[in-house]
Amino acid sequence: MSAADPNFPSGPYPAGKHIIPPPRPVSPSTAGYSLNHLMLRIKDPEKSIRFYNDCFGLHTVFIFNAGPWTIYYLGPRDTNISTLGTSKGLLELYHIPADSSVEYQNGNEYQNGGVGFGHVGFTVPDVGEALERVKAFGFEVIKPLEADKEDGMGLPERVVMGDHGKVSEGYKHVFRQLAFVKDPDGYWVEIVPQVVKSA
């Protein structure tokens, strides 16, 4: 992106005023890419499901027991498991029982360390092509396709290395089809195929 990009006008920006750049032109290289989900770690699934579903109108699309943790995928009421790859506005909740004594932070508490926010997820037509694009831009791939090692799952070693049960083969099958890269600030970005192949 050059400094002359009209969609990213250079500052300084006047205080108290919205700057509204024109839309970016269509890019054939990223046709079919869309922001798909955010992942949060949670302490109490019942309370979190009630909050996001009852207060904000989402519904539980699926629940997946990965072994040492359970994933709750929430989305708009018209979303089902067959439309996840083309859906938007999804929320992935991770309940990790081994984290019961770990205090999660919300990302805005600079004085405290910790975790809570997980990753941003994008669905794409071809994960391999998206990874090549990320590498061409000079960004780091932290989990390539086909990799399924527990230490690459973004969870504490005590959770994924067998202390709390083995990671299920069903989860590993899905995990091999996706990838993770780092954004410029080190946040994880997950790249998911629009269609996840069944085992």
Q: Quote the tokens at residue 126.
A: 């071809």
Q: What is the pLDDT of residues 35-84, one digit of tens each?
A: 999 998 888 999 999 989 997 889 999 999 999 999 999 999 999 999 99
Amino acid at 182: K
The alpha carbon of 65 is separated from its chain's Cα centroid by a whole number of angstroms, namely 18
Q: Is residue 73 part of a domain?
A: yes
In 3D space, the residue among 72, 195, 66 whose CA is nearest the CA of residue 123 turns out to be 195
Q: What is the pLDDT of residue 113?
A: 64
Across 84-88, 158-162, 175-179, 181-185, least confident range = 158-162
Q: Is residue 125 part of a domain?
A: yes
Q: Is residue 54 part of a domain?
A: yes
Contact indicator for 38, 118 with CB cutoff of 8 Å: yes
Report the pLDDT averaged over residues 87-101. Answer: 91
pLDDT at 1 > cutoff 80: no
CATH number for the domain spanning 132: value is 3.10.180.10
Q: Is residue 6 part of a domain?
A: no
Q: 129: domain range?
A: 31-193
Q: What is the pLDDT of residues 103-150, one digit of tens each?
A: 887 665 555 666 778 888 888 999 999 999 999 989 899 999 999 888
Q: Is residue 17 part of a domain?
A: no
Count the domains in the chain: 1
Contact indicator for 118, 110 with CB cutoff of 8 Å: no
Q: Is residue 56 part of a domain?
A: yes
